[in-house]
Structure 1
Amino acid sequence: MFEREKSTASAWFRRLRDEIVAAFESLEDSHNSGPFSDAEPGCFEIRETKRQSDDGSDAGGGLMSVMRGGRVFEKVGVNVSTVFGTLGERAQQAMAARKGIPGMTEDPRFWASGISLVAHMQNPHVPAVHMNTRMFWTPHAWWFGGGSDLNPCIEYEDDTTHFHATQKSHLDPHGAGLYPRLRDWADEYFYIPHRKRARGVGGIFMDDYCTGDWQDDFTLTQDIGRAFLPAYLPLVEKRRSQPFSENDKNAQLVHRGLYAEYNLVYDRGTKFGLETGHDPDAVLMSLPPLAKWV
């Protein structure tokens, strides 16, 4: 049961990964003016990742694609994975407490697939960004999750407006009330309690999403993924050659500290990946190459 759906979702995440990687490498090749244009264009370094179960047997894996030190991207990772196995006791407790899944102790098998992206930019006027979509399955339940959010260190109202408007246009076919719901969900999820502030200017987010109609929920998840490039690429094109000062760069590094704090302290995906034995380099790909704290 659900083998066809699993295969369909996993293949989609891989296709989305390929499209984004190609678009980002094209940005690198076309950047020929302004700061960093004299550098060699960046390209993705790709390696396979593996997850091992507690007994050492194969439990799936994926592709880790990271570009460092490019003309446009200081560090960007686009990872895709499909993993499976048995949830450990702590992971079982966390899942059961949050989702109320029956039978988790009796049958703790799971399957998960998804794409995860984080981009940290050379030019501080270009906002950092995060995107992921995923599907999770157990013998007793299935659900989708993900979204994307914008993390500028120097905020531009027109950039924020474009990012949100593009996502709204992709969500509106699924119901007029969905975009406000996922926007508010993102604002709540990407909030940093110990700083009493958001880590960026928001976006859309959903977790544990299951209406009972797999195809409708999968189509929504696809549209969240499809919204990413048209929401983000125009912002990169507009800002990548903009002059910046030393103070601008300092602001970027301090803002990255917020990003690191959030991902290490609160992010559920980071916690789940490390708890279930996935490749730690792939799990921690989201961390910026440089950051600072005041």
Structure 2
Amino acid sequence: MTETFTAEKSRASAWFHQLRDEIVASFEALEDSHCEGPFSDQSAGRFEVTPTTRTSDDGSDAGGGLMSVMRGGRVFEKVGVNISAVHGTLGAAAQKAMAARGVPGIAENPQFWASGISLVAHMQNPHCPAVHMNTRMFWTPNAWWFGGGSDLNPCLEYDEDTVHFHGAQQAHLDPHGTELYPELKKWADEYFYIPHRNRARGVGGIFMDDRNTGDWEADFALTQDIGRAFLPAYVPLIEKRRSLPFGEPEKDAQLIHRGLYAEYNLVYDRGTKFGLATGHDANAVLMSLPPMAKWV
């Protein structure tokens, strides 16, 4: 039994909120500092923050969070940074999915608590890669675990950008054990793969799920460093690429790649399925979808 884990839940949800605040501030600073190149004549974008709620089947409060979305900025065409802390009873479909993953005691006691941060950024300039990041903690009366990671999704690939993104992640993971980065990189390569297209969603990153070594503090520390790796891995790429000129061929490539991204998130993404199955705000769950996309 994991008891109530009250203190641990509070620490985890507070950390996700802190990480959210740091990312929002960093992204708005990118908007302010973009003073030359495409879209620099537009107003700097700002996040619109909307509370989200989850209601249980009996109508009682079941938690919620904050949906923070910026649209039509100088650098970001659409970016969402969501946090949530929800609780309640898992429905039949979610119970079946959890049981299939080996979570103990779900049928006997399907109560749950979950908190996390989820981020997806779609950029104005096709030379700037889209990106995804999330970290989360999940608790049931018989188990707890962490999950998450981040992956880069460029429509125009630059080898040096991929090297930088992976290098920053490895630098944050290596203090937890040099075996972790290759393990989580392999997991990301397998998870962010689109079988019906026979290709990866992007150029990879790191990913983990069901992380429970029995040492909550160690697993929480690893999850925090996955979150801390995100800004140094991603922001330098945007600073390097946001002022590059582009034309219709580059924009067309971006829209087609966004279609690929949408296919993955709607068909395969575990977080999307869980959010919709547990009754969380649909707009927050589907925040990851791009503002425009194209299929050939």
* Fold shared by both chains (TM-score > 0.5): yes
Partner amino acid for 1:113?
A: S
Q: Give the Cα–Cα distance (whole angstroms) in 1 for the partners of residues 40 and 140 of structure 2.
A: 48
The root-mean-square deviation of aligned C-alpha atoms, in Å, is 0.5
1:184-195, aligned counterparts within 5 Å?
A: 184-195=186-197
- For 1:14-163, what aligned pairs fall within 5 Å after superposition? 14-98=17-101, 100-163=102-165
Determine the structure 2 residue equivalent to 1:208: 210
Question: C-alpha separation between the residues in 2 aligned to 1:259 and 1:91?
Answer: 24
Could you tell me the TM-score, scaled by structure 1's length? Answer: 0.99
Partners of 2:100 and 2:143 in 1: CA distance: 14
| Counterpart Cα distance in 1 of 2:119 and 2:55 | 23
Equivalents in 2 of 1:29, 1:97: separation in Å?
47
Shift >6 Å, 4+ stretches = none
Q: 2-side partners of 1:177 and 1:107: how far apart?
A: 35
Partner of 1:238: 240
State the shift of 1:177 in Å: 0.6
**Which secondary structure state, in structure 1, belongs to the residue aligned with residue 58 of structure 2?**
coil
| Secondary structure, aligned partner of 2:59 | coil
Alignment-derived partner of residue 199 in structure 1: 201
The C-alpha deviation readout for 1:61-118, integer Å capped at 9, x for no partner, is 00000000000000000000000000011111110111x2232112110000000000
TM-score calculated relative to the size of structure 2: 0.98
What is the SS of the residue equivalent to 2:163? helix
**2:197 aligned counterpart, secondary structure:** coil
Match of 1:8 among 7, 11, 25: 11
Q: Which runs of 5+ in 1 are unaligned?
A: none
- Mapped partners of 1:153, 1:84: distance in 2: 37
Report the AA paired with residue 82 of structure 1. A
1:248 aligns with 250
Count matched residues.
293
- Runs of 5+ consecutive residues of structure 2 not aligned to the other structure: none
**1:56 CA drift (Å):** 1.1
Instruction: Tell me by how many angstroms 1:121 deviates.
Output: 0.1
What letter matches 2:255 in structure 1?
A: L
Percentage of pairs with the same residue: 78
Q: Secondary structure at the match of 1:166?
A: helix
Whole-angstrom distance in 1 between the partners of 2:283 and 2:86: 16
Most deviating of 235-244 and 100-109:
100-109
Give the Cα separation in 2 of the matches to 1:149 and 1:103: 32
Distance 2:194 2:287 in 1: 20
Q: Deviations over 1:196-217 (max 9, x none)?
A: 0001000000011110000000
Q: Report how far residue 272 of structure 1 moved.
A: 0.2
SS in 2 for 1:194: helix
Q: Distance in 1 between matches of 2:131 and 2:109?
A: 37
Q: Distance in 2 between matches of 1:165 and 1:111?
A: 33
> 1:233 Cα shift?
0.3
